[in-house]
């Protein structure tokens, strides 16, 4: 049986667009200046919650042409409260000092943080069609404390693990991936070192043909990138 499931990458985060529609709820953790949030809202006309604690980034997020992007000037973390946040010379690489203090930090500001469960509750979210997570190393702390029942309310997750910045987290990344597999998630890494990992809830009922198509998409995209590099060098 032929699969019609395909992948889509926006701002370097890969997901399955097949399961998104105007009624979908998407949560963007680490929205930066809104490229992913706007891309999803404009393409699918759905509701996107964009969470970004750095004021100079969240203030740049424009209104969506379709759908709606609701901006939340906060971070998701393992606990709630106000925390020091290191603003890097590259604001896209800013992070909590608990994750690894940024040596070139331009300044340290106070940001509001909330757990994912509390965010769900505050926004009356019953389930999420897509969760994108790019939070500069804090993803492991966040995923460590999320309950199984909350994870199972997420249909797919596009996670950027920052193992490339913090190599010592490789074991923790492997542990998180194993836990999600045990809960029934299927995962595939579209990068070389867990920088673009897609987790798909078993509730979406991906068949063998679907998974084969997704794997083919991964290697097809990799081949296209290599050909482009060779073309640039010639």
User: Which tens digit of pLDDT belongs to each residue from 10-30?
Assistant: 999 999 999 999 999 999 999
pTM of the model: 0.92
Token pair listed for 94: 């800013």
**What CATH number was assigned to the domain covering residues 8-233?**
3.40.50.150
User: Which tens digit of pLDDT belongs to each residue from 86-110?
Assistant: 888 887 888 888 655 554 667 888 9
Closest CA to 129 of 63, 225, 45: 45
Residue spans per domain, the chain:
8-233
Enclosing H/E stretch for 85? strand 81-87
Contact 191, 173 (CB under 8 A): no
């Amino acid at each position: 049986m032929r699969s019609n499931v395909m992948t889509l990458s926006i701002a370097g985060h890969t997901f399955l667009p097949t399961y998104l529609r105007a009624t979908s709820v998407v949560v963007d953790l680490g929205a930066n200046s809104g490229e992913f949030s706007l891309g999803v809202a404009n393409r699918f006309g759905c509701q996107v919650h964009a969470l970004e604690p750095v004021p100079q980034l969240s203030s740049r997020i424009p209104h969506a042409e379709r759908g709606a992007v609701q901006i939340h000037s906060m971070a998701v973390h393992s606990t709630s409260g106000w925390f020091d946040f290191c603003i890097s010379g590259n604001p896209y690489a800013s992070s909590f000092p608990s994750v690894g203090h940024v040596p070139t930090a331009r300044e340290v500001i106070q940001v509001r943080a909330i757990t994912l469960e509390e965010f769900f509750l505050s926004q009356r979210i019953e389930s999420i069609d897509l969760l994108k997570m790019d939070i500069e190393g804090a993803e492991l702390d966040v995923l460590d404390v999320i309950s199984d029942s909350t994870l199972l309310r997420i249909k797919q997750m596009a996670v950027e693990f920052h193992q490339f910045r913090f190599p010592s987290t490789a074991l923790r990344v492997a542990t998180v991936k194993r836990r999600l597999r045990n809960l029934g998630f299927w995962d595939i890494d579209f990068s070389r070192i867990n920088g673009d990992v897609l987790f798909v809830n078993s509730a979406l009922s991906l068949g063998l043909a679907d998974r084969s198509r997704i794997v083919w998409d991964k290697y097809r995209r990799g081949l296209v990138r290599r050909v482009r590099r060779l073309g640039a060098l010639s």
